[in-house]
Amino acid sequence: MKAWEHEQNKFRSAIPVDFKLNPSDWTGIDESIKQRQGLLDLFWASQVPGSRAPESIYIAMIQAWFNRGYDVTEAEDLIEQALVEHSAKNYNTLERLSGQIVKRLIEAPIDPAHPTHQFSRPETWDEIRSAFRCNTEKIENSKDLEKQILGGWNGQISGGSYGTAIEGYSGNTLRRFYGDRLNFYIKEPETLNDDITFELAVLKAAERKGSKMTAEDIADMWLQYIPFGWSAEYFALENLKRGFYPPQSGKLGNFFSEWIGAQMRTMVCGYLAPGDPLKAAEYAFMDSSISHEANGIYGGIHSAVLSSLAFVNNDTREILLKSRDYIPEGSEFAHFFDRAMESVQKHKDHISSWESLEDSFKTYNWIHVYPNMIAVLHSLWFCKNDISLAFRILGDCGVDVDCNAGEVGSILGIMFPIDPIWTEPFNDRLETYVPGMEKMKISELAAWTTILANKMNET
């Protein structure tokens, strides 16, 4: 039936109501107003659920656009007034100021003096692949694939649980406040984590389409299974709901498209392409392009490559060095990676190296891809293949610890047996907010992932 026929039938069959039995009902408007006010509160002054670290999405939005090389002075001029109006709960005025901030960011002129403009930004998969140093062939894996994937999931979930309680703070603050409590979970670990939510969507897409999976297929699973996102993922979901699919979903009005969101969730792409970093990179490009662009996508690719390489290597430093081949030459991501590599090779310990670099990324939000990639690099370089030491190093660095520890835990879990002290507290149980997958056994998740990895490699 045509759309106009549906509407015509509904119109012609409609019968007026008896208002004594069915009075007018405008309560939906009140509810909508409350929801919008709640979203303004959330975007102007919220706390990270696990760690209670403070966040302000609107201010971070301005910061992120400055990092992209725009002159954001006019948007910055509204920050103080908006904070006053939010404190006073003057939501109508705050709504106007918030809209003006977004408008001014959209209209912000490029700052030609900003250093980001000296770097290249390949966008399509073919452009990104051409900018890699080399495209190595798949390395056959002789180990027990399901056992390695289970280790990857357990390492990732352990790392996410470790970092959830401490994300959003500086390393110096965490060391001063917690001391050696950073050597283990500082509170009862929880497995509920938004990062894994997006990985389950990738698995659902792989289950439906196998090796023919596309970015659009993954985006469809976002809409079907993911009720809410934050920062880049929030705006991507809103774009998808309006019919803007990747790559538009990652670009349109998405000021956070170079934050950590892709890097935090593409380990699963490495699981689906064990020992095949180029294929893992392609899967990660598909997933990352839903919510990110350029350097944000390169972060997603890098995370997937590290996990893929972990299946066929036994040293974290070696993996780091090999991963450089899958970072686009001339990109800003490559610049920060190379600078961090120079630093870790020059310093004897992770704290002195990290502190020597902090000024170089101080203008970036703690959720941006650069400081977190650098934290991951420090952990893998100095951890001596020990997951406990790797997590402690990430605690010492601070920033987005749950995402970083999930990534590092994935790599080390694939490579080596995990000390049971990290996995026993959650006893093979994973909690998510994905409809139909709210409670899962990690072992069953690993078995499912292994089936899909084999399916993706069928010719």
> pLDDT digit string (tens) for 13-63?
999 988 888 888 777 778 888 889 999 999 999 988 889 999 999 999 999
d(CA 262, CA 246): 13
Q: How far is CA 117 from the centre of its chain?
A: 24
Whether the predicted pLDDT of 260 surpasses 80: yes
Among 62, 81, 110, where does a domain finish?
110
- Identify whether residues 388 and 278 lie together within a single domain: yes
- How many domains would you assign to the chain? 2
Same domain, 347 and 382: yes
Name the nearest CA neighbour of 231 among 191, 192, 264, 205: 264
CA angle, 200 then 222 then 310, to 5°: 35
Core vs surface per residue 371-407: b (16+ CB within 10 A) or e? bbbbbbbbbbbbbeeebbbbbbbbbbbbbbbbbbbbb
Q: Closest by alpha carbon to 54, among 175, 173, 161?
A: 173
Question: 110, 142, 173 — which closes off a domain?
Answer: 110
Please indicate, yes or no, if residue 274 is contained in any of the structural domains. Answer: yes
Shared domain for 184 and 42, answered yes or no, is no
| b/e 298-331 (16+ beta carbons within 10 angstroms → b) | bbbbbbbbbbbbbbbbeebbebbebbbbbbbeeb
Q: Is the pLDDT of residue 343 over 90?
A: yes
Tell which residue, 155, 121, 177, 80, has the closest CA to residue 380. Answer: 155
Shared-domain flag, residues 135 and 96 = no
Q: Is residue 317 part of a domain?
A: yes
The percent of residues above 90 in pLDDT, for the chain, comes to 87
Helix (H) / strand (E) element for 200: namely helix 194-209
Q: What is the pLDDT of residues 273-310, one digit of tens each?
A: 999 999 999 999 999 999 999 999 999 999 999 999 99
At residue 418, the 3 state secondary structure works out as: coil
Please indicate, yes or no, whether residues 267 and 347 belong to a single structural domain of this protein.
yes
Q: Which residue has the tokens 């404190």?
A: 87
Judge whether residue 381 has pLDDT over 80: yes
Q: Is residue 147 a contact partner of residue 317, using CB atoms and an 8 Å limit?
A: no
Structure token digits, residue 190: 């929880």
Q: Is residue 26 part of a domain?
A: no
Place of tokens 């991507």: 236
pLDDT above 70 coverage of the chain, percent: 99
Q: What is the pLDDT of residues 233-246, one digit of tens each?
A: 999 999 999 999 99
8 A C-beta contact, residue 306 and residue 284: no
Taking the C-alpha atoms of residue 120 and residue 63, their distance in angstroms, rounded to an integer, is 21
Lowest mean pLDDT among 46-55, 117-126, 247-256, 372-381: 46-55
Q: Which of 82, 110, 138 is the last residue of a domain?
A: 110
Is pLDDT above 60 for 230?
yes
Query: How high is the pLDDT of residue 32?
Result: 85
Domain annotation covers residue 230: yes
Give strand ranges (E) for 290-438: 398-399, 429-431
| Domain extent at residue 213 | 125-456
Q: Which amino acid is at 68?
A: R
CATH value at residue 426: 1.10.4080.10
216 plus 304 within the same structural domain: yes
**Does residue 4 fall inside a structural domain?**
no
Q: What confidence score (pLDDT) does residue 49 get?
A: 86
Q: Say yes or no: 276 and 197 in one domain.
A: yes
- Strand-pair partners of 429: 441
Nearest partner of 287 among 449, 125, 452, 138, judged by Cα: 125
- Residue at 101 is within a domain: yes
93 pLDDT exceeds 80? yes
Same domain, 98 and 139: no
Question: Residue 8 falls within a domain, yes or no?
Answer: no
Residue 19: other Cβ atoms inside 10 A: 8
Question: Looking at residue 50, what is its pLDDT?
Answer: 86
The mean pLDDT of 58-82, rounded to a whole number, is 98
Say yes or no: 39 and 136 in one domain: no
Q: What angle do CA 16, 20, 24 make, to 5 degrees?
A: 65
Residues 135, 204, single domain; the answer is: yes
Q: Return the pLDDT at 135.
A: 65
Q: Where are the beta strands (DSSP E) in 77-217?
A: 169-170
Among 225, 369, 233, 208, which residue's Cα sits nearest to residue 290? 233
- Regarding whether 169 and 248 lie in a shared domain, the answer is yes
pLDDT tens profile 311-335: 999 999 999 999 999 999 999 999 9
Q: What is the mean pLDDT of the chain?
A: 95
Average pLDDT over residues 351-369: 97
Q: Which of 211, 261, 214, 212 is nearest to 236 (CA)?
A: 261
85 and 162 assigned to the same domain = no
pLDDT > 70? residue 160: yes
Residue 119 lies in a domain: no
Reported confidence tier of residue 459, pLDDT bands at 50, 70, 90: low
